[in-house]
Amino acid sequence: MNAPRGLAKKVFVVWPPVWNAFDAHVAVPTLCGYLVRQGIPVRQLDLNIDFFRYLVAEETIERQLNGHSAPLPKKVESAVDFARRYFEIRRSPLQPGYRQRVSEDAEQHLLARALEIFNHFHPQTAFSTLGIYHAGNADSSDFIADFAAGDAGNPFAAFYRGGFLPALEDELPSVVGISICGSFQLGAAFTLARMIKEIEPRIRVVCGGAFFSTMPQALLVLRTADNLFRHVDAYVLNEGERPFLRLIREVFSKLPPQPGPNLVLNGQRELSFEPQDCLPPAEIATPVFPDDAIPKYFRPVRRIPVEVSRGCYWGKCTFCNLAQGANERYRGIPAEQVYRSVQTLTEQHEASEVLFSTLAMAPKILRGLAQRLNAGSQQIRWNAWIRPESGLTREDFISCRKAGCTSLSVTPESFNDRTLARMRKGTNADQLIRIISDLRYAGLCGGINLIPGFPGETQEDFFATLEICRDLGLRGEFFPFHLLKNSPIYRDPKGFGVLLRENPANDLAVEVPYVYARDPEAPTGIELIKAAAWRYPRQVFADDPLGGYTFDFTAEPSPVPAVPTSPRNQS
């Protein structure tokens, strides 16, 4: 019998499905940039966009249809017709004088149709461009472990066997890191961990990312840990660079990994969570993206995400669970360092747009960045999200516009002063209206976010917010209020008039069920959106829960019909 091959002193780092189809995430590329700087041989795999490309491949679509004789639903049949016409056109020769076969957004239409087909043939899951929904209880580690345990009914298994696993078997890295940003990646991540161990049990599988960093206690609950460590050797918490590097070096040296700050090993029953053990700005690396990843995203113009800061300098919003751990320590990356990253990445990936990535861009960072871009020779288009700070001026926004900025999106969440105060946003409606008006003057007003259904908000409060959006001609997204585990509201439910209704079986739940203590019939965020769609039928869109809830008041407003008294009367 041949002796088993030795494992290579090499690391795979994976971004698993399902993130989104339009923009790469900056976390894994930045981690890989740090590892490369430390001399670690690393291969990065963006399996998220590879999975979306797998969905839209003609081979995948036809394989699902092969041997299927039953009539298809009309919507699926229409999707199949579109996909087949698309591929037929792509194969046809170009007519003289024409440069393209299809419109710029044709691929996005193809993606929508491919999702329609895939979801029909995989009824246990429902995919959108923003995530995955399971037919079972995805908040339970029991369900996730069972889902990941086999290939039957698991849409990720065939995808992994067709691409990732042959590469793994060929190279046999010592360590595979899997980054999990949210619950929408759990099924894919743990399926991957199981299949890696089936190929080679000696490979160390390490999970990290924002999901477990916001709820690390789950790793110490016996039942949950038994499920989560079934095919995983360790979890990295907080910022991953230092603990992951430490573990890699121990594995390369053939030493057993040791417990340490922000690292949880299988069988460990104590948590060493060190939120301040994070990188200073000078050590944050320029992201290293896989060479072929950026062009695969379904965006007509290539856009690169670049970090400008880490952490949240505000950290007080009562609905948010992100302002903990390393995010409590705000670190702005120097403008010159950001500028060099922009130069490197736009040239390397032939990109003309940059998304400046940050939880909250401080005014000082925004001004410094605009000043450096205005002083340099780099010609780019860029956009970012900002907090509506009182110190921001019309002149700041004009400077950003001159520096290549195309939009600055704001997160007001509400235009109602009472709701804003309970959210602890540190602003008021007049300030928000002034800042957004200045953004509009500079031609930079991007989309905004609203959170309907925040505890204490009435239907009248919400409609007043929408009237301001209408007057200002705004567009954006609704994010119905969900009570997040470890948020300030979760820690003080009585202070916000809610009663928690946690289910111990839902040990991976980020969203916590609740009821209003004083008014159990108070409308939920989704009910408010439905009521708004009744009132503004051409501006508010509430019928696509997989794709999100949106509004657009930029066009001429339509007449406002009467609204039934209670949003619960809406179906």
Residues 402 and 549 in one domain: yes
pLDDT for 4 equals 59
Q: Is residue 282 part of a domain?
A: no
Residues 411 and 503 in one domain: yes
Nearest one of 288, 316, 320 to 304, comparing CA atoms: 288
> Taking the mean position of all CA atoms in its chain, how far away is CA 480?
16
Decide: helix, strand or coil at residue 225. helix
Residues 330 and 228 in one domain: no
As for how many domains the chain has, the answer is 2
Strands 498-500 and 514-516: antiparallel
Distance CA 206, CA 13 (A): 9
Distance CA 45, CA 179 (A): 11
> Taking the mean position of all CA atoms in its chain, how far away is CA 554?
26
Residues 38 and 165 in one domain: yes
Q: Is residue 117 part of a domain?
A: yes
Nearest one of 453, 457, 455, 553 to 497, comparing CA atoms: 455
Distance CA 474, CA 490 (A): 31
Nearest one of 478, 374, 393, 479 to 444, comparing CA atoms: 393
Distance CA 17, CA 354 (A): 23
Distance CA 35, CA 123 (A): 40
Contacts of 354 (CB under 8 A, 6+ apart): 303, 304, 305, 306, 342, 345, 346, 380, 381, 382, 383
Q: What pLDDT, in 10s, does the model give residues 344-387?
A: 999 999 999 999 988 878 899 999 999 999 998 888 999 999 99
Residues 250 and 386 in one domain: no
Do 236 and 199 meet the contact criterion of CB atoms below 8 Å apart?
Answer: no
Residues 301 and 257 in one domain: no
Question: Which whole-number Å values give the CA distances from 130 to 22, 133, 258, 401, 544, in the listed order?
Answer: 9, 10, 37, 30, 12
pLDDT for 133 equals 81
Q: What pLDDT, in 10s, does the model give residues 192-249?
A: 999 999 999 999 999 999 999 888 888 888 889 999 999 999 999 988 999 999 999 9
Residues 302 and 402 in one domain: yes
Decide: helix, strand or coil at residue 99. coil
One-letter amino acid for residue 30 of the chain: T
Please say which residue of 248, 265, 282 terminates a domain. 265
Structure tokens at 118: 């895939």
User: What is the maximum alpha-carbon separation in the chain?
Assistant: 80
Q: Is residue 550 part of a domain?
A: yes
pLDDT for 443 equals 94
One-letter amino acid for residue 236 of the chain: V
Number of residues assigned to the chain:
571
Q: Is residue 456 part of a domain?
A: yes
Residues 119 and 258 in one domain: yes
Q: Nearest 5 degrees, angle CA 115-CA 480-CA 533?
A: 80
Distance CA 425, CA 527 (A): 24
DSSP 285: P
> Taking the mean position of all CA atoms in its chain, how far away is CA 177?
18
Strands 540-541 and 475-478: unpaired
Distance CA 15, CA 24 (A): 10
Residues 484 and 534 in one domain: yes
Count of beta carbons in the 10 Å neighbourhood of residue 69: 4
Contacts of 518 (CB under 8 A, 6+ apart): 497
Q: Is residue 277 part of a domain?
A: no
Residues 221 and 325 in one domain: no
One-letter amino acid for residue 368 of the chain: G
Q: Is residue 106 part of a domain?
A: yes
Give the CATH number, domain containing residue 548: 3.80.30.20
Domain that holds residue 516: 290-566
Residue with tokens 């800061």: 309
What string of DSSP letters covers 462-473? HHHHHHHHHHHT
Please say which residue of 229, 250, 265 terminates a domain. 265
> Percentage of the chain surpassing pLDDT 90?
69
DSSP 91: H
Residues 294 and 259 in one domain: no
Radius of gyration of the chain (CA): 24
Q: What pLDDT, in 10s, does the model give residues 148-186?
A: 999 998 999 999 999 899 999 999 999 999 999 999 999
Distance CA 323, CA 364 (A): 20
Residues 237 and 359 in one domain: no
Question: Which whole-number Å values give the CA distances from 314 to 68, 317, 377, in the listed order?
Answer: 55, 8, 33
| Burial class of 92 by CB neighbour count within 10 A (0 to 12, 13 to 18, 19+) | exposed
- Dihedral pair phi/psi, residue 17, rounded to 5°: -65, 155
Q: Is residue 279 part of a domain?
A: no
Q: Is residue 3 part of a domain?
A: no
Alpha carbons within 13 A on the beta-carbon side of 483: 20
| Averaged pLDDT, groups of 10, the chain, 571 residues long | 74 94 94 96 97 96 89 94 92 68 76 94 86 86 95 94 94 97 94 97 96 87 91 93 95 90 85 75 93 90 92 90 72 93 93 89 92 90 92 95 94 95 95 95 92 94 95 93 94 94 92 88 90 92 68 67 38 33
Do 199 and 170 meet the contact criterion of CB atoms below 8 Å apart?
Answer: no
**The model's pTM:** 0.91
Distance CA 567, CA 571 (A): 9
Distance CA 19, CA 361 (A): 23
Alpha carbons within 13 A on the beta-carbon side of 31: 28
Please say which residue of 207, 231, 265 terminates a domain. 265
**What is the end-to-end Cα distance of the chain in Å, rounded?**
67
Structure tokens at 248: 């890699």
